[in-house]
Amino acid sequence: MLYTALLTLLSHWKRHPGQFVMLALGLALATALWSGVQAINAEARAAYDRAAATLGQDQLSRLERADGQPIDLADYIALRAAGYLVSPVILGDIRGPDGHLRILGVDPLTTPAEAQGPTLDGTFNLAAFFTHPGLLLVSQDTANGALPNDLPPLQITDNIPPATAITDISTAARLLGQENPSYLLVAANQPHNLPPITQATTLTLRAPQSTSDIARLTDSFHLNLSAFGFLSFGVGLFIVHAAIGLAFEQRRAMVRTLRALGTPLRTILMALSLELAVIALIAGTIGVALGYLIAAALMPGVAGTLRGLYGAEIEGILRFNPSWAISGLLITFLGTAAAAIQVMIRTARMPLLAPAMPRAWAQASGRMIRLQAYAALALFALAALLALVGQGLIAAFACLAALLIGAALGLPALMTGALSLIRPKGAFAEWVVADTRQQIPGLSLALMALLLALAANIGVSTMVGSFRHTFLGWLDQRLTSELYVTAPSSAEAAALMQILAPDVDAILPIVSAEMRLFDRPAEIFGVLDHPTYRQAWPLLSAAPNAWDQLATGDAVLVNEQLSRRENLRVGDIIDIADGLPIVGIYSDYGNPNGQAITSLSHFLETFPNILPHRFAIRITPEEAPALATRLRDEFGLPPNAVTNQAQVKAFSIAVFEQTFRVTGALNILTLGVAGIALLTSLLTLANLRLPQLAPIWAIGTSRATLAGLEMARSLALATLTFLLALPVGLALAWVLLTLVNVEAFGWRLPMRVFPTDWLSLFALALLAAGLAALGPTLRLARMPPARLTQVFAQER
Amino acid sequence: MIRTLLTLLLLTAPFHATSLYAQGFAGLGTQADGFATPTPNPTFTFPLDHGPHPDYRIEWWYLTATLTGPDGTSYGVQWTLFRGALTPETSDNWAAPQLFMGHAGLTTPDAHFSAERLGRGGIGQAGVTIHPFRAFIDDWQMVSTVSEGDALDALTITARGAEFAYDLALTATGPLVFHGENGYSVKSNEGQASYYYSQPFYQVTGQLDLPDGPVQVTGTAWLDREYSSQPLSDTQSGWDWFSLQFEDGARMMAFALHDGTGTPFTSGTWIAPDGTTQSYGDGAISLTPLSTTQVAGREVPTTWRLQVPDRAIDITTIPLNPQSWMATSFPYWEGPITFTGTHQGRGYLEMTGYN
């Protein structure tokens, strides 16, 4: 019985293959975007975990100096001599003209058992590892990539993070010019009867890192991606809902006949569920495969973004991971179930002998529209509440979701309201408006999808545009020096500075040290007192005479990110050196980490081991090219050691563009999905509306006029949707700029609007609506009169 | 004597160089490129030669002690510092190719504890100094406490593992003794040899820290000093080494180097109570396993018959604890023994190459 019912139901798709394709496509697209984003996130997270697990650092505590500086070798030896099992690590980056490599120098003789090293095969030469010139263990990818010059021999090894080399501590010490350990790994089990290690040292003990700094930093980025994936999935579900609804409407008669023939309702419901499950499985599988392709295509971009923005090294390659494939399929099933539940309930409630009333499947009553409007108002209130009192990124995204869903739910009421404002003259015009209003419930889901896609597009492009505008202006201010020079060593830098001093306006050393502030990685810079900074550095808030106070060495500036994250204000004391007051806060876009600036003299006092070997040169712009050439030719500096302002700017902008490339791609995809949703709905309506159109035709309106009206109506509805999407999109941009960005990145940007962008988006919306309406319109225009006449014979 | 040889090259536990491990003790038979090799009739200069010889590939300071607690319970203690050189050079930084390995063992009648430390010379984590004499790795050390006389005449040794620690004071009651020909000890018929001398006459007092609490102990101890560059022939894969203390105050060292197939190469030294020695070359001593024990998943001979016809010695050795397994990077059996037969006494047994 079930089999027969199923076959009967399935026969529908044989007669309407287009509908089947639409349903499958909607499901597959929704799944694809969702699982693609999940795949990217899973890959990146796995990469962070792999990096964090390098040498078991996710399980081992560490000893570090509170200021993040290397530990004196004598302090390490003293701990060993006291019996504690600690193991030194020398960590640092070497940069060459083409690439950089993170060097992780370990002492295999003392590394705790938990620090599982890389897997080595029998060809590995341990003697070579320990003795000059040493061996660098790197992954195949790292070996294939751009690397600094003059490296020791490479040994390809599995399980090593990208752009990282594991090597003996002696090799690391030589390559990095640093004998003192960066930090010490602490074995989990210490010998018999020793007091706790914290009593034996002034170093800071850090518990094992369950999540790495990078994973924490990039969390917001991945949450952003997830939010986009979810939005796309939601939009995709509109298609599915529309397609399932259409099939239900068209199979009303079939279901009634089946029941009249004695098929139990349960069997029919089971057959329907089974049918949907099969479709979900097929479409979901296609979707997951498609998602994999999308993710693989986006992955290099994401890797570039993560590297540029956060310094997170992940490979631009996607590995297949069953976990996101399965979760992708699961969400397809859940989505299908959510989209189908209404249809199931209606089928269950359908009276056995009720006539097959042909009417728009989603003809919601005025009551339904009112209910939705109330829900929309409640959601807007919630969004406003979240915007005012919400805390954290999740609240910001919840605010976004409430805003978008509210706007979608409010759409039918707003449209109906807008149409009721029109007072048409003449019977025909009255009919047109009434008919359009009549169609709104049927089209509402598709229009909601379009609204969401348009609003997201306006919101995101406003955010990106505002960001770009602010960022470029800020870059112009910040990058004032004409040339930036990197000397091979601090000694050579000092010599160069002396030689150049008479010929240039100013030489500004650039020194920085990595440290930890508030238990997160941070950087501290030392700057010379010079008008370059006083004039060019935009301070968001500052004490009077901030630069004078900084010059005396008893004050610091901190970046906006740090001040927002830790709630720091001008006048607060920060734990640098012996505690320094904050005299200013500066914007520092694109930097995920906290940063502080102190005077050069104070910096050199605090970090006597760090000597400047980079500096900026102020010179008249006309003289800059000649000086650059002189530096390369006369002083033998490699080409990349001398960069001019334009190069630095270009690099910064490239990082910026890279950051939003993925967002842009997802944006376009979402809009595409919305277009398909609209097409599906119009196709659905086209057939259902014949009974309404036939009488109009019969009283003398030509098919061409009717078709033209259909097209005009579609475009008008798209226009209306766009007009409504505009404020929603701007609200979205506001939430993104003032809530999400502040929470996710730590900087707040002024919002700017770009009306010309709206015009192009409006054109795009019209195009999508026009294309979607084209098929049904043409069919109507070419419909044989006989088919229209049949309406009177067959329906009812 | 040869004892737990190591090439520290094979030792880096965190890296799973399994095929390298497979070479095991046999790896000591490899060629000694660039390193010095022992030559007959050596002249030792002390205290200089108590210190390290970086131009030789391997070297050790190896102490075993047979001890007794206040209630008559027997204990055994081992303290060893191995040095292995990757190249015959030294330096004062991380790049020093001189690697050190410490082993500590503590045996009771029903438990055996072992611990291991690794480190490199050059940065101050491990090494051996001459003035004053001090062999150390981390907090484990063997320190001379003499003000005059041979630096090894009085020592303190300390070590600490996950479950135990010990602190012993040693005083020598006899002279240093030299094995083989004046300290040139031949190890195979192909001519492999090492420099080898001992201080077998220590009296010991001290304290053991066991999981159940501290125990005061007294007893005797034996220190071996040995260095070489290629101590084993290609085919030799391990050895059985005995140090014996007879009731009349005499001592004896005996070893058998075994390879896969042929008769073991045996050698030994008889040491009279006054320290005069008589060396025995290959074949003069016979060592016969009498029974084996399942230890750490392998069969290890733990009772032995030792015969020296020249001295009418025919004894059977019994371990204090047959499970005296050193679970270190290169595992081996090492523990205190007693012997009966024509003579009686206590001693130490080490067995390697039982895979």
Domain range annotation of chain A:
1-53+218-357, 59-208, 483-618
Helices (H), chain B: 18-23
* Model pLDDT, residue A123: 61
Q: Is the minimum CB–CB distance between B165 and chain A shorter than 8 Å?
A: yes
From chain B, the residues in CB contact with A179 under 8 A are 93-94
User: Is A193 in Cβ contact with B123 (below 8 Å)?
Assistant: no
User: Is B9 in Cβ contact with A80 (below 8 Å)?
Assistant: no
Range with lowest mean pLDDT among A145-149, A284-288, A524-528 = A145-149
Q: Least CB-CB distance to A81: which of B13, B97, B138?
A: B138
Nearest Cα to Cα of residue B322 among B344, B338, B306? B338
Per-residue pLDDT band at B196 (split at 50, 70, 90)? very high
- Bridge partner list, A92: A103
Distance separating alpha carbons of residues A220 and A216, to the nearest angstrom: 8
CB pairs under 8 A between A and B: 100
Chain B residue with CA closest to A126: the answer is B9
Question: Please, are residues A477 and A536 in contact by the beta-carbon 8 Å criterion?
Answer: yes
* Mean pLDDT for all residues in chain B: 88
pLDDT at B275 over 70: yes
Domains detected in chain B:
36-351 (2.40.370.10)
Per-residue pLDDT band at B15 (split at 50, 70, 90)? very low
pLDDT at A425 over 60: yes
Please report, for residues A245, A362, B332, the alpha-carbon distance to residue A373 in angstroms, rounded to integers and kept in the order given.
22, 17, 82
Range with lowest mean pLDDT among A118-122, A649-653, B212-216 = A118-122
Question: Please, are residues B75 and B166 in contact by the beta-carbon 8 Å criterion?
Answer: no
Chain A residue with CA closest to B84: the answer is A127
pLDDT at B300 over 50: yes
Which residue, among B9, B116, B123, would best test binding to A if mutated, counting the most A CBs under 10 Å from its CB? Answer: B123
Q: Least CB-CB distance to A192: which of B14, B20, B161?
A: B161
Q: Which tens digit of pLDDT belongs to each residue from A567-596? A: 888 888 888 777 889 999 988 876 777 888
* Model pLDDT, residue A198: 87
The contacts of residue A128 (CB under 8 Å, 6+ apart) are: A134, A135, A153
pLDDT at B114 over 90: yes
* Model pLDDT, residue B130: 94
Question: Please, are residues A316 and A299 in contact by the beta-carbon 8 Å criterion?
Answer: yes
Angle between helices A17-53 and A645-688 (to 10 degrees): 150
pLDDT at A42 over 70: yes
pLDDT at B74 over 90: yes
Distance separating alpha carbons of residues A420 and A24, to the nearest angstrom: 37
Per-residue pLDDT band at B14 (split at 50, 70, 90)? very low
Q: Is the minimum CB–CB distance between B124 and chain A shorter than 8 Å?
A: yes
Angle between helices A322-349 and A17-53 (to 10 degrees): 140
Q: Name the B residues in 199-228 with CB < 8 Å from any A CB.
A: 209
Which residue, among A79, A121, A130, A178, would best test binding to B if mutated, counting the most B CBs under 10 Å from its CB? Answer: A130
pLDDT at A467 over 90: no
Q: Is the minimum CB–CB distance between A78 and chain B shorter than 8 Å?
A: no
Q: Is the minimum CB–CB distance between A689 and chain B shorter than 8 Å?
A: no
Of residues B272 and A624, the one with the higher pLDDT is B272
* Model pLDDT, residue B302: 94
Please report, for residues A128, A231, A723, B122, B138, the alpha-carbon distance to residue B125 in angstroms, rounded to integers and kept in the order given.
22, 59, 75, 8, 6
CA of A186 to nearest chain B CA: how many angstroms apart?
Answer: 15
From chain A, the residues in CB contact with B160 under 8 A are 83, 191-194
Q: Is the minimum CB–CB distance between A149 and chain B shorter than 8 Å?
A: no
Distance separating alpha carbons of residues A13 and A255, to the nearest angstrom: 14
Query: What ipTM was reported for this prediction?
Result: 0.90
From chain B, the residues in CB contact with A127 under 8 A are 9, 86
Note the pTM of the prediction, 2 decimals.
Answer: 0.66
Which residue, among B89, B137, B138, would best test binding to A if mutated, counting the most A CBs under 10 Å from its CB? Answer: B138
